[in-house]
Structure 1
């Protein structure tokens, strides 16, 4: 009976040591092959314990030996499994990687050019003699920058010079509006995939020059029209782009102005009976109220830094 109890005690002790060892490896890194090898190899202490408990006559001293062995055994420190050779080589190659991918650089400078299709929307003129809202084409070009905020998210401001020429008809005469603006888009650019990005943000516009003309201007009787564009407008721009080759992108962008282009231009309907158009007044035979600019842009950009 004492021999049986001694054997049970030794078995319980070996089992507890085995569970303790498995709990340590739960927080470490080990492969399946290493786990199998460690499970198949017996602990040296277990072999010594099994050899020491063979005599049956000395049951009481055997219990003392088990207690002494249990108290004398030091706790085994966990030694992390060394990483495989191919992982170590990958780490070394990563340290020697000098230049990150182009879309992950901290700063960047580039050039951009685009063709624009412009249209005045919000045009509130209800005169039947006016043939639609002014539409036309233009182009723009300038500098763009990029500052990385977090991974795959950049602040991408631009400074562009934009020209647009729109036209429509009034009394079967073509009326033409031209404008040259300094456009400053303050955009956020997010990289969705490796070669695809989306962008959006506010855009500030400073008018540098504008002109208005119409057919047979000399033959029109009465007051001469004077239509000047607002010096400052702003709106919102959104778009998307795709990387063709390293550093070269194509993009499509949509801009919607939020301010009237001609807030100071009066029409005939704005004057009361007896009022006279002043010499310096901005005047139009048709109402320009509510006219805002909308553009669809197809561009090409290149990051040289």
Structure 2
């Protein structure tokens, strides 16, 4: 009898854990936003960037603790922006690896909210038709905050805002007239779809 009760308790625990939402999975989606301003020669001030669509692909893990959960992610992100100047439009592209470390709260049924730091490693930056030096810091820290909905046990969708914390600029120069800096900090909305195994 004791063995039967013990087996029932173990099975109940396993079923509860399986339904808790823990697991690993894949994610991907679209990024809507831009990088910071470009400074063209000190006396001309700043040029704001125009938002363009980018994308992200990655993996995640989720550890569910009832109402709270922890979700680390590893994501490849491609960002696109444009800077309009009197010489024309210059496209700016940046690719980076992001590692958001998110803490979430299950608030009502399939709805949840989350926030946490995002460790970012910049892989490449490119400003169209202009020689761009390496960014000041390859490694930076940002913030992710957002909300999501679990569409099923495996499928989920979330919308988050990302903002870089620290200044991180890259200098450029095409000639003596056109010199300055580009702020590589992202400020964007991220729409993601995730699939948990």
TM exceeding 0.5? yes
Give, in whole Å, the separation in 1 of the partners of 2:140 and 2:103.
20
Establish whether residue 182 from structure 1 lines up as the match of residue 88 from structure 2: no
Equivalent position of 1:247 in the other structure: 154
Kindly report which structure 2 residues correspond to 1:127-276, keeping only aligned pairs within 5 A, or say none: 127=44, 132-148=48-64, 150-214=65-129, 225-229=131-135, 230-262=137-169, 265=171
Unpaired runs of at least 5, structure 2: none
Give, in whole Å, the separation in 2 of the partners of 1:303 and 1:166.
31
Q: Which has the larger radius of gyration?
A: 1
1:182-216 per-residue CA deviation (whole Å, 9 max, x = no partner) reads 110011011111201111000011111222213xx
- What's the C-alpha RMSD, in Å, of the aligned pairs? 3.0
1:44-76 per-residue CA deviation (whole Å, 9 max, x = no partner) reads xxxxxxxxxxxxxxxxxxxxxxxxxxxxxxxxx
Unpaired runs of at least 5, structure 1: 1-90, 215-223, 269-276, 278-282
1:215-262 per-residue CA deviation (whole Å, 9 max, x = no partner) reads xxxxxxxxx643333311211100110011221111101000112231
Structure 1 residue runs of 4 or more that deviate by more than 3 Å after TM superposition: 94-98, 121-126
Task: Name the SS for the 1:100 alignment partner.
Answer: helix
Contact 2:114 2:145 in 1 (8 A): yes
Equivalent position of 1:287 in the other structure: 180
In proportion to residue count, which structure has more helix? 1
The size of the alignment, in residue pairs, is 186
Contact 1:124 1:291 in 2 (8 A): no
Give, in whole Å, the separation in 1 of the partners of 2:109 and 2:177.
51
Bigger relative contact order (CA 8 A; separation at least 6): 2
Contact 1:163 1:181 in 2 (8 A): yes
